[in-house]
Amino acid sequence: MTDIDTFPVGSLPPLGEVPKRMYAQLIRPERFGEPKDAFKEEIVKVSRPGPNQVLVAVMAAGVNYNNVWASLGYPVDVIAARQRKGAPPDENFHIGGSDASGIVYEVGSSVKDIKVGDEVVVHCGAWDPNDPWIQAGKDSVLAPSQLIWGYETNWGAFAQFTCVHAHQCLPRPRHLSWEASASYMLTGGTAYRMLYHWEPHTVKKDDVVLIWGAAGGLGAIAIQLVKAGGGIPVAVVSSDDKIDYCKNLGAAGVINRKNFDHWGAFDNDINKPEVFLEWSKKTRAFGKAIWDIAGKGANPQIVFEHPGESTIPTSIFVCATGGMVVICAGTTGYHAAVDLRYLWMRQKRLQGSHFANDVNSKEFNQMIIDKKIDPCLSRAFKWEETGLSHQLMRENRHPHGNMSIIVGAGKEGLGKSG
Ligand SMILES: NC(=O)c1ccc[n+]([C@@H]2O[C@H](COP(=O)([O-])OP(=O)(O)OC[C@H]3O[C@@H](n4cnc5c(N)ncnc54)[C@H](OP(=O)(O)O)[C@@H]3O)[C@@H](O)[C@H]2O)c1
């Protein structure tokens, strides 16, 4: 116990001394809207860990698209959703943040393998260790109790402390700064599962993989993961200034999607032969751009999807016979139309994928520790720029790769060694 009530952001109390209250960036229903206005610093209580939990002093927090959605209150009002499930009425706020690096300050009574002072990164796949699904040893990310910490759950990383399940904690890569350590786990774990989990459609030597949004958080990691597996990453971006960035990460070539204009979901007109012919001509031209990079006839064995509505028709069309379109989001919309002829005749797989299980997360984190993958931190924002970082993301004006926010590490961060 300690008598400390609060302490300033950018500093830490003595190891193991947990203050009564903390600063956090809160979203409240009355502020739902543009991220720049949705987040506001407030003082709240510090939660204490349950038997299987640990309390982590957040050194830096990662910025992800999910808290753009949380700010908007759309497509899910995460606060109302929790209230419906019985969250205390006075918790009518959201503390987001689904990535963190930090130092363990307190451990629950049943936690065996983590101790006070450990430096960790936190992955966002929270599940209840007592869930029968988990106890049966099944894939944890499919468990009924599985929730994304800092999005579906409250008390995420945009605070001085966060209480997480012990199984969410992984060793921090010591060659990285706190801010880089906080930046990669959500996008990296997701990309790793998409590319290496869905047997037999995992990246193999010389497989062509088409990567949408290749300079974004998911994409920048995906390029490196494909390259690491001996595949041929073909990147798609929306501006030429992203080309060198993707090539430096290992892309075999880069397509600027602005050179094409056939995007969007199908409407009923697609049933008119002349409309379909025009669409397929344009889509074939896009496919030819892939061949120009990967070789004639080299259709992607895997299409790495997340824009969704706008790009799915093209993804299904260009995917190789027997290949897989694997999708984890619908940034441009959820109502994607698929020309089923290409799906069944060419026996393609359309696979949903969501974050990662503990094994996926651990394996990906090890690739970071082994320096096989760079986290691609582009910018570490100040604490008071939490809203700004999400606003830039919402407007697709954010810097390439992944971003983080400095919390306990001090306003300027602590550099490489932490
Ligand atoms: N289910 C999960 O577990 C999971 C995990 C991580 C992320 N996600 C979701 O995945 C999405 C992307 O996340 P992220 O972190 O990579 O975001 P990001 O850094 O913003 O990157 C997304 C990229 O998508 C591209 N894009 C935007 N509009 C597009 C359009 N109309 N057509 C094609 N590409 C478009 C942009 O690249 P260009 O403009 O250069 O093309 C942008 O860089 C978000 O919706 C996020 O919520 C889901």
Predicted local distance difference test score (pLDDT) of residue 364 = 98
Over residues 253-266, the pLDDT tens digits come to 999 999 999 999 88
- Spatial distance between the Cα atoms of 212 and 313, rounded to a whole number of angstroms: 13
What is the DSSP code (8-state) at residue 159? B
Mean pLDDT of the chain: 95
Predicted local distance difference test score (pLDDT) of residue 24 = 98
| Ligand 1 centroid – CA 214 distance (Å) | 9
Residue 160 tokens, joined: 């001085």
3-class SS of residue 288: helix
For tokens 């790793």, name the residue: 192
Ligand 1: residue whose CA is nearest its atom 8: 329
Predicted local distance difference test score (pLDDT) of residue 250 = 98
Q: How far apart, in Å, are the Cα atoms of 314 and each of 168, 292, 311?
A: 36, 17, 5
Q: Is the pLDDT of residue 414 over 60?
A: no
Residue 287 tokens, joined: 């496919």
Q: For residue 380, how many other CB atoms are within 10 A of its CB?
A: 22
Mutational test site, ligand 1, from 65, 221, 259, max ligand atoms within 8 Å of CB: 65
Ligand 1: residue whose CA is nearest its atom 29: 307
- What's the mean pLDDT in 355-359? 97
Over residues 278-332, the pLDDT tens digits come to 999 999 999 999 999 999 999 999 999 999 999 999 999 999 999 999 999 999 9
Residue 95 tokens, joined: 């503390």
Predicted local distance difference test score (pLDDT) of residue 347 = 98
Over residues 327-349, the pLDDT tens digits come to 999 999 999 999 999 999 999 99
Predicted local distance difference test score (pLDDT) of residue 411 = 54
Q: How far apart, in Å, are the Cα atoms of 402 and each of 36, 135, 188, 283, 376?
A: 18, 34, 10, 30, 6
Mutational test site, ligand 1, from 236, 306, 325, max ligand atoms within 8 Å of CB: 306
Ligand 1: residue whose CA is nearest its atom 43: 216
The alpha helices in 34-106, defined as continuous H runs, are 35-38, 66-72, 78-84
Instruction: Tell me if 331 CB under 6 Å of ligand 1.
Output: yes
Q: Is the pLDDT of residue 370 over 90?
A: yes
Q: Is the pLDDT of residue 54 over 80?
A: yes
> pLDDT grade, residue 2 (50/70/90)?
confident
Ligand 1 atom closest to the CA of 148, numbered from 1: 3
Instruction: Tell me if 220 CB under 6 Å of ligand 1.
Output: no
- What's the mean pLDDT in 86-97? 95
Over residues 22-52, the pLDDT tens digits come to 999 999 999 999 999 999 999 999 999 999 9
With a CB cutoff of 8 Å and minimum separation 6, the contacts of 84 are: none
Structural domains present in the chain: 21-187+356-406 (3.90.180.10), 198-352 (3.40.50.720)
Ligand 1 atom closest to the CA of 257, numbered from 1: 41
Predicted local distance difference test score (pLDDT) of residue 1 = 56
Predicted local distance difference test score (pLDDT) of residue 3 = 82
Ligand 1 atom closest to the CA of 218, numbered from 1: 16
Predicted local distance difference test score (pLDDT) of residue 417 = 34
| Ligand 1 centroid – CA 15 distance (Å) | 38
Output 197 or 411, whichever has higher pLDDT.
197
Predicted local distance difference test score (pLDDT) of residue 272 = 94
Ligand 1: residue whose CA is nearest its atom 46: 65
Q: Is the pLDDT of residue 416 over 70?
A: no
Model's pTM, two decimal places? 0.96
Predicted local distance difference test score (pLDDT) of residue 413 = 47
Ligand 1: residue whose CA is nearest its atom 32: 307
3-class SS of residue 220: helix
Q: Is the pLDDT of residue 252 over 70?
A: yes
- What's the mean pLDDT in 394-416? 82
Ligand 1: residue whose CA is nearest its atom 21: 216
Instruction: Tell me if 393 CB under 6 Å of ligand 1.
Output: yes
Ligand 1 atom closest to the CA of 212, numbered from 1: 34
- What's the mean pLDDT in 79-94? 95
Q: Is there a contact between 67 and 185 (Cβ–Cβ < 8 Å)?
A: no
Q: Is the pLDDT of residue 412 over 50?
A: no
| Ligand 1 centroid – CA 314 distance (Å) | 16
Predicted local distance difference test score (pLDDT) of residue 418 = 33
Mutational test site, ligand 1, from 238, 260, 377, max ligand atoms within 8 Å of CB: 238
Q: Is the pLDDT of residue 410 over 90?
A: no
Q: Is there a contact between 112 and 127 (Cβ–Cβ < 8 Å)?
A: no
